[in-house]
Chains A and B, each alone.
Chain A
Amino acid sequence: EAQVTQNPRYLITVTGKKLTVTCSQNMNHEYMSWYRQDPGLGLRQIYYSMNVEVTDKGDVPEGYKVSRKEKRNFPLILESPSPNQTSLYFCASSLSRGRKETQYFGPGTRLLVL
């Protein structure tokens, strides 16, 4: 089944404790992306990746890191989480970033930083 998976689905952590949220897709998609969603603010893009080893900042990259060492995986790293990073996070992928792109979203990761 074609899908985007994220782990963990729920995470409670404390300020400053490094964490990684994994994202994997099995559709051989080139374009992958991370979003955060907060009440009243909609979906905001954190980072995206056009292909392996090619990443770039979205609209809200501060406090986050990403890597794309393999085509299927695009982990989101919070080196020193802070309470303002408490949010619902979505990973997404699409075949390419172009005119007719359709993004497929993962189930989301709900993060609480105390």
Chain B
Amino acid sequence: LAKTTQPISMDSYEGQEVNITCSHNNIATNDYITWYQQFPSQGPRFIIQGYKTKVTNEVASLFIPADRKSSTLSLPRVSLSDTAVYYCLVAGNTGGFKTIFGAGTRLFVKA
């Protein structure tokens, strides 16, 4: 299973763009990269998923360089309600069927 590394925490202000980078040096060829958001005392929820280059949806963008050893979640113009923990997950058919969440990145958005 690909191990992921993210910053433990980040601070931002309302209206700013936030970029959270995740390292996954041993990502396998078949692995996709998925990001989840978790609010306190709630279950994680899916934000975005990608395999390579760039993916954008109504919530975020995901940038994946050609070597796929890292990925960057970009949250445009964050608001106070974006304060949460963000998890990067690398999952695929290789390496068994366990799921391993890393420690996540705690984003705190200030007014």
Contacts and interface: CB of A to CB of B under 8 A. Distances in A.
A97 B34 CA distance: 13
Interface of A is mostly: strand
Contact of A99 (B93, B98, B103): B93
Given A42-B103, A106-B43, A108-B41, A101 B98 contact: no
A45 interface: yes
A48 to B, nearest CB: 6
**What class of interface size applies to chain A in its complex with B?**
20 to 34
B46 A43 contact: no
Nearest to B28: A99
A74 interface: no
Q: How large is the interface on B (under 10, 10 to 19, 20 to 34, 35 or more residues)?
A: 20 to 34
Interface string B91-107: 11100011111111000
A59 to B, nearest CB: 7
Contact of B99 (A48, A106, A107): A48
A98 B34 CA distance: 12
Q: Which of A98, A101, A105 has the most CB of B within 10 A?
A: A101
B46 A48 contact: no
Contacts of A101: 32, 34, 91
A102 to B, nearest CB: 5
A100 B97 contact: no
A53 to B, nearest CB: 15
A45 B43 contact: no
